[in-house]
């Protein structure tokens, strides 16, 4: 069912232009991947379906994401190219009320046979990725009044069913008979991961998650390296897009050493370390075990106090005798005057 019939290039949009599943639940009150909403850019009489036109639309939409403005999309689709801008597990701002439940695809306005076959392939890949049949919408079903877009939904469904049924699988060549049977040759099929460097960040596992060996060529052949418990914090530095349709984060260790192990993006949510507030250092307390330092003993030289010098005093009895002699002299003088 899932294959790599079409190459998917990656031109990742800024985080300022989309929601994680956790953010979507907080903003919209719900989150799921139940369908795909298809849009078109301009109209058939304006921008065409060339690779250059395709690239200009990718640049325009990712430019909107960089400044945190809608619209943004998960994929841009034309017959010449297919570009992944936002992982389908995350929520692009493209379909109004359809954002939290559908994946957004911006399409060329030239709907050739090749375009519908490619649109059906992408829809089939997404159904394989999420393990269920995804509804098909066009933009005006979520936002009446828009002209975006009168594509043939039934034709996209028909092409997706053809891919799902193996209708487009290449016929297996019949080996020429040989006189002597040769021993069986072990399979040598390999896959090529599309790995993109991303800004290092931390993610937290939302459930018990497998660390996958990404070298598998079929879903049945996928092998788990180990199981990581829910709540584990992992620092990631690259995103790998598997040809079968899965998207996986690679740790710094795996990415720098070329180890093809990754964790499924849908099992992760972005994590930011909680930084404790700085301690109050206004009063510095000595450590508990620090020795007590005695207060310094300050010694001073005493200042001598001067002894006051006083005049020698006359004994009291001599003063009294002197005064009495004066009084007697006056009395005698007065008495002498009286006799005359």
pLDDT at 190: 67
Q: How confident is the model at residue 281 (pLDDT cuts 50, 70, 90)?
A: low
Mean pLDDT of the chain: 82
pLDDT at 199: 87
- Range of weakest confidence among 42-46, 93-97, 293-297: 293-297
Topology (CATH) of 194-271 = SH3 type barrels. (2.30.30)
Query: DSSP labels for 132-158?
Result: SPPEEEEGGGTSTT-------HHHHHH
Residue 134: pLDDT over 90 = yes
Only one residue has tokens 């008979």, namely 177
Query: DSSP labels for 159-180?
Result: HHHHHHHTTTPPPPPPPPP-SS
Q: Which residue has the higher pLDDT, 216 or 332?
A: 216
Alpha carbons within 13 angstroms on the beta-carbon side of residue 329 total: 6
**Region 199-206 average pLDDT:** 89
230-265 per-position pLDDT tens digit: 889 888 888 888 888 788 999 877 887 777 889 999
Q: How confident is the model at residue 274 (pLDDT cuts 50, 70, 90)?
A: low
Name the residue among 186, 219, 201 with its Cα closest to residue 270.
201
Q: What percent of the chain has pLDDT over 90?
A: 43
Q: Which residue has the higher pLDDT, 116 or 196?
A: 116
pLDDT at 314: 46
Pairing of strands 233-241, 247-251: antiparallel
Q: How confident is the model at residue 332 (pLDDT cuts 50, 70, 90)?
A: confident
Please tell me if the domain spanning 9-165 has the same topology as the one spanning 194-271.
Answer: no
Q: Which residues of 153-181 are buried (b: 16+ CB within 10 A; e: fewer)?
A: eebbbebbeebbeeeeeeeeeeeeeeeee
61-94 per-position pLDDT tens digit: 999 999 999 999 999 999 999 999 999 999 999 9
77: tokens are 């689709």
The domains of the chain are located at 9-165, 194-271
Q: Does domain 9-165 bear CATH number 3.40.50.1000?
A: no
Q: What is the pTM of this model?
A: 0.52
Distance, in Å, from the CA atom of 80 to the CA atom of 91, rounded to the nearest integer, reads 25
């Amino acid at each position: 069912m899932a294959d790599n019939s079409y190459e998917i290039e990656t031109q990742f949009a800024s985080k300022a232009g989309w929601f994680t599943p956790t953010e979507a639940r907080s903003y919209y009150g719900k989150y799921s991947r139940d369908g795909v909403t298809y849009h078109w850019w301009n109209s058939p009489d304006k921008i065409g379906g060339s690779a250059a036109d395709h690239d200009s639309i990718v640049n325009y939409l990712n430019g909107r994401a960089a400044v945190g403005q809608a619209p943004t999309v998960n994929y841009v689709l034309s017959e010449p190219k297919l570009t992944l801008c936002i992982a389908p597990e995350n929520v692009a701002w493209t379909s109004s009320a359809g954002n939290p439940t559908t994946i957004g695809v911006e399409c060329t306005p030239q709907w050739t046979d090749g375009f519908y076959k490619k649109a059906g392939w992408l829809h089939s890949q997404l159904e394989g990725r999420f393990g269920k049949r995804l509804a098909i919408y066009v933009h005006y079903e979520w936002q009446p009044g828009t002209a975006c877009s009168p594509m043939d939904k039934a034709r996209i469904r028909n092409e997706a069913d053809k891919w799902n049924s193996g209708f487009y699988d290449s016929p297996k060549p019949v080996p020429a008979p040989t006189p002597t049977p040769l021993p069986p040759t072990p399979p040598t099929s390999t896959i090529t991961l599309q790995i993109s460097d991303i800004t290092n960040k931390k993610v937290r596992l939302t459930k018990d998650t497998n660390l996958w060996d990404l070298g598998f060529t079929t879903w049945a052949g996928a092998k788990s390296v180990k199981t990581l418990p829910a709540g584990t914090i992992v620092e990631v530095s690259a995103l790998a897009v598997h040809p079968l349709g899965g998207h996986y984060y690679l740790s710094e260790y795996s990415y720098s050493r070329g180890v093809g192990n990754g964790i499924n993006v849908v099992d992760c949510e972005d994590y930011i370390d909680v930084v404790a507030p700085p301690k109050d250092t206004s009063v510095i307390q000595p450590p508990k075990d620090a020795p007590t330092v005695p207060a310094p003993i300050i010694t001073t030289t005493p200042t001598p106090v001067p002894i006051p010098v006083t005049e020698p005093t006359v004994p009291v009895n001599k003063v009294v005798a002197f005064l009495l002699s004066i009084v007697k002299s006056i009395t005698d003088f007065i008495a002498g005057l009286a006799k005359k």
